[in-house]
Structure 1
Amino acid sequence: MESDALYQALMNDIAHYITKPESINLITKAYQLAKEKHLGQMRKSGEPYITHPVAVTRILAELEAGPNTLVAALLHDTVEDTDLTLVDIEKIFGKDISQLVDAVTKLNKLIFQDIVQADNQQKMLLAMAKDIRVVLIKLADRMHNMRTLDSMAPEKQLRIAKETLDIYAPIAHRLGLFRWKAELEDRSLRFVDPAMYYKVSNMVKAKKDERESSISHVINYIKELFAESGIKDFDIKGRIKNIYSIYKKMVNGGRAFEDIYDLLAVRIIVDKVETCYQSLGIIHAHFTPIPKRFKDYIAVPKPNMYQSLHTTVLHSDGTLFEVQIRTHEMDKVAEDGIAAHWAYKESKVYSKEKEQFEIASKLKWYADLLKLTEDTDDKQESSQEFVDTIKTDILSANVYVFTPKGEVIELPAGSTPIDFAYRIHTDVGHRMVGAIVNNRIVTLDHTLQTGDVISIKTNKNSSGPSEDWLKIAKSPHARHKIKIFLNKENQDLIIAQGKEALEKEFVLNKKDFELSDQWVKENFEKNNVETVEDLYKEIGKGIISAKAVMNKLMPEATKETLLQRQLERTSRQLVATSDTGVIVEGLTTPQIKLANCCTPVPGDEIVGFVTKGSGIVIHGMHCTNIKEYDQNRLLPALWGINITRKYPTWLKIKGTTRATLLTDVIQAVNSSGVNIAEISAISNSQFESIIKLKVSLSNVNELNSLITNINKVPQVYYVERDIR
């Protein structure tokens, strides 16, 4: 092995942080196996294929990746391109390394067909890996491919370069791998827009000597200023902005090359945070700062952990410079991103679980960054969105499946074809009659796996989802859509029942009326009923009786006769003889109480039920229990007049799980002038909350007005009397 230049170069790269014999032996064994399996295979460049996995491994060594990551990088193409199997790798190197190789192999099979899907594909790439090490291996793999892209055919060069710009460079940015990001972008731009690449490149080179001289002069001047101020432990570096960043500002921002303020930059690295701010004071005291160009990323870090002070200043020779000031630790993070926080250290005892826990712990640190401003250098992605992407997509188990056209669909683990159908479109879900997964017909409760290709069969005559679908669907989105459909179905049934009840009343009175929305509005607007359909709904719910509608429809003479009869019946008892406010005809001192199941209020049509030993219990005609009682024990009952007491009744409210739902409902009740006696709220899913509300009010008109006000709350989509 000593004469093997590739091997020696790799060993030299890792020598400064990996010294344990067992780790070196593991890497050596992997190198020998990879070299043996790739023997005879050549790259398009004409080099032996083994040069590629070694180059990928050396790129990872720059991040001080652990031995297992390096071994997986050496073997990452063996399963796909040689006769080596995952079983073989697990026997020789263990389960952790075989799983890493397996994950990278699966990612290699992904085809990014549509750049419009770039965002979903980025998430898919991260989430499928479930392990940051896999993402790093894949990024290193792409880095070396970009470095050797000249050997590929022009059409492949363009496809790979576009894919790199849209998929891999943004991932490097998300992980804070700025050196990798800049290199991937510059190399990609050379193939995506060669004319602009060389134009910008030549502009940068045109005055290279002049700029380097200017940077050198500024660095020496700052060194003198620091020496005078007693600052000793510091480094100063100069740089010119990468080509792609200049290109973006010229093409997307419409700025001239000369107007790019941060084209030249000086980086000052000091020992501690306090010295950063001291250095900033010195810079601003001796250079002219440009207004609105100061950013404090130390106090408010970027979402990818980047910390630094940024200011743009004007030199006495008229040159603009961006000055970046940070500590040594911040500079390490700026160079290597998140990877800087879990660089392999031989002093630690590593296991897959412990290493992943350490990574997860670092990622959880993002939760403290919710106050951060948007990262304008990327795609306007807020820190919260970035946190959610990392924590949800990398650290949780999601399923990624495909439509027949190759579109990527993300679903929760355990999802079924029902979840997939509703994610495509609500109508697809409602009309679904079957599913085909990977060219095989499956049942609707079939559990989907990452990589499945799914086709949904629909029928426009389908009756829609059933209650059973709620037991099968796993995603909150699908369950929410199904519940809305079922609630509407219930509403349609209530309307049909109300219409049937009114038509029966017409038959009993030997009348035939043609109702109109205008008539309904004129007669029932005080009940918040404005259309014929609304009227049917209220009758179906038992809130308005069919007899009440009939009374409105009957000629005035007939109504007066009916009213006269009612007055004659109750003339002896215009005021109720019990504290319930209820009159039972023919009884002067009856033992009466209101039913707890339906909690009737004045204005409800009511009936009395003679119990055995407990007097008469008054139920609303809308009460479902009435149908179960012995009809011979029911007595006519009516409300008295001049009732001054309040009556309790229950409402059931369904709405979204937004945090303000309960508060908004309470405000709606208070604005109606109604007192709350009792309230409780539960979430029966991630998508729906149910509020049980006991209120105290005077009559059904107050109740109807209250229901109307609650329905105006944006998060509420269903309110009903609660029959307990």
Structure 2
Amino acid sequence: ARNQGLVGEISAALKARLAGAGLEAEVYGREKKPFSIWRKMENRGISLEQLSDIYGFRVVVGSVDACYRALGVIHSAWRAVPDRFKDYISTPKQNNYQSIHTTIVGPRHQRVELQIRTADMHHVAEYGVAAHALYKDGIAGAEHGAGANGSQPRENPYMWLRRLVDTLLEGDNPEEFLEHTKLELFQDQVFCFTPKGRLIALPRGATPIDFAYAVHTDIGNACTGAVINGRHLPLTTQLRNGDEVEVLVSKAQTPPAAWEKIAITGKAKSAIRRAARDALRRQYSELGRQLLIAAFQRAGFDYADDKLKKALMRLSQKSVEEVHATVGRGELPIADVIRAVVPDADLSNVPAPRKRSRRERGQSEEGWFNVSKVFNLKFRWPGSSAEARQAQVLPIRGLRNDVPVKFEEGGAVPGDRIVGVLSEGEGIRIFQIHSPKLKEYENERWIDVTWDVDPERPERFPAKILVTALNEPGTLAQIAQVIGEAGGNIDNVRMVRRAKDFTEMLIEVEVWDLDHLTHIMNGVKARLVVSSVERVFN
């Protein structure tokens, strides 16, 4: 009842505006029927407020020039809805359909869909190209008068077909029927819209997360939810053709890494990974900065970013934030930063970066015993305890110092999780827990092994790193310099693969522990000539 008489009101307003501009026009209006409204809402999954063609009008004028003049008059009088304008006069459809389509916010703030065309265009749109050809030949005129020989007028078969189609479609025209199905022709894509009418094409199976990143990366990063066709739905919802998606955002939002498993577009996945890395970097950077401030205070100095910036070259870092992040991750010792900023600083009050020895903790555990020839390892037979040791003798000769112990290829360093494999006639082999070669010893007897490093008798342990770097003079020298300055020892270097522009080298190093190895790898990776560094076990 609120919009009763609106069709007549809009028709009168359009005629008055066009007449005032000197344009003669016929205006036809209709209000969409309830069944048609329900069917469109059901097929498109949208709410009533999102329908833009409940009220539709056709403006028929005398010429093409008058079509564009009428469009200007209408847009001057009422606000046009963005991205709802289509010019099929200058670019006709393949079936020769011509018309200007636009949507305005008309009287009573109702969206009104308009089609502006000439009489010939209207006849083609209503009855088709063939019927229009008959009409131009004068056949259609027989519907309104007698034939040449005085016989009864002959009915145009196209008019009969049109009435049949109208009946089948509950009074709607074929264009509305096509509107429900045309998007489904693209089976590998879905076409969705922003609230302002912007078209977003996405792969089938895309989610609101993909939609948000397709609109803009900043929108995706700030996304907190989505309203699809007027309803709040989860971000895991798969979008369908014609969906109108409104992205809810918050400046405090950071995209969680789990979104990468939900998104399907490459742009969204890449942006999520980058945002997750940036967020983690910011956390480490803030932690590292607080650690440096506290350490500088203990050493009797005031910390300042400007002072640290001058020491970036000595630390082989690119920025102050990078230093903060590496300190926060534990990859750069705080003492090294203080020495770079204040070379003559007394670091007696700064804690050492090395981890506390676990020798005392290891000795208090039941079932552990030392093999005297290997000072830095302790072994425990599976299921051993104090009572078991009194009841039986361990079936290895470790107590008499004649069990050979060796590290398997790839090595292991204190800090690694390790396991021992006892092979008959070979002794004990030490494996890093992630070593792929452990699969070859599934049927052997495994024994627990723990590190028992004596801080008074330090010893280096073997490890292998694979370095990919530029193939240019001085590359190996830079890598060796980093390892040497970090206190590592190069045992062997082998070129695994060489190309014109890069080379892969396998470097066997000896280090004190896992922290020491990590520090060396990060230092090597910081060099501009180095592309990647990874630890290998084969």
What TM-score comes out, normalization by structure 1 length?
Answer: 0.32
Q: Between Structure 1 and Structure 2, whose CA radius of gyration is higher?
A: 2
Greater percentage in strand: 2
Greater percentage in helix: 1
